Amino acid sequence: MQGFNTLYVTRSGARVDYNTGPIVWGEPGTNGQHAFYQLIHQGTRLVPADFIASAVSHNPIAANLHHKLLLANFLAQTEALMKGKSSEEARAELEAAGMEKEKLEKILPHKVFEGNRPTNSILLKQLTPFTLGALIAMYEHKIFTQGVIWDINSYDQWGVELGKQLAKAIEPELQDNTPVSSHDSSTNGLINFIKKWL
């Protein structure tokens, strides 16, 4: 769904003067903590985030302990993004841990979280074909609604056509070892480099 609403012209062809095309990415469970959660918590750009969890696991091993840990993290991350941690709270934690003043002052700014980061918590009883379909329908409706509000054609895919056209010209050039020079220097260099490996 990321490719939708990534246009810079309206339905009538006028250039927009606002941001379109939200970026969609994600990771299951706690996998994203060291990949992009830092951006969401303390980044310079506000990143609205959807957190989706199912209460009932399909793999309830060890008395469902692992799934309960995942649910605890689901709830904790959204609470942390909402509340944040003030300088006073961070200072109190560091002092309680016995950190010396000089080190405390140095690390303190890194322990502060502004909070007030927007999230949606979407909770399912269990992930099933039906609930997965409902999630997909919800995001499709979101894309359509954004397109209406932004006056762009959500299902316009002309942007990928140029790449397809160029690929038709490049594919035959990969069939032999003859060096190419018909493209820009970057593309020529990449094609010729690939040919050395083929």
Q: Are residues 112 and 183 in the same domain?
A: no
Which pLDDT does position 2 carry in this prediction? 53
Q: Are residues 79 and 34 in the same domain?
A: yes
| Alpha carbon distance 92, 189 (integer Å) | 57
Q: Which residues make beta-bridge pairs with 126?
A: 56
Which pLDDT does position 33 carry in this prediction? 83
Which pLDDT does position 130 carry in this prediction? 98
Mean of the per-residue pLDDT values of the chain: 92
Read off the DSSP letter of residue 156.
-
Q: Are residues 102 and 71 in the same domain?
A: yes
Which pLDDT does position 150 carry in this prediction? 94
Q: Are residues 90 and 163 in the same domain?
A: no
Residue 42 sits in which domain range? 1-156
Q: Are residues 63 and 106 in the same domain?
A: yes
Q: Are residues 140 and 51 in the same domain?
A: yes
pTM: 0.78
Domain count within the chain: 2
- Residues comprising the chain, all counted: 198
What is the CA 197 to chain-centroid distance, rounded?
A: 34
Q: Are residues 72 and 134 in the same domain?
A: yes
Report residue 150 as tokens: 């932004």
pLDDT bin (cut points 50, 70, 90) of residue 48 is very high
Which pLDDT does position 161 carry in this prediction? 86
Q: Are residues 83 and 144 in the same domain?
A: yes
Q: Are residues 169 and 95 in the same domain?
A: no
**CATH number of residue 8's parent domain:** 3.40.50.10490
pLDDT bin (cut points 50, 70, 90) of residue 3 is low
Handedness of CA 101, 104, 105, 106 (dihedral sign): positive
Query: pLDDT per residue over 136-158, tens digit each?
Result: 999 999 999 999 999 998 887 77
Query: pLDDT per residue over 62-74, tens digit each?
Result: 999 999 999 999 9
Can you tell me the mean pLDDT for 36-51? 91
Q: Are residues 7 and 47 in the same domain?
A: yes
Q: Are residues 37 and 92 in the same domain?
A: yes
**CATH number of residue 189's parent domain:** 1.10.1390.10
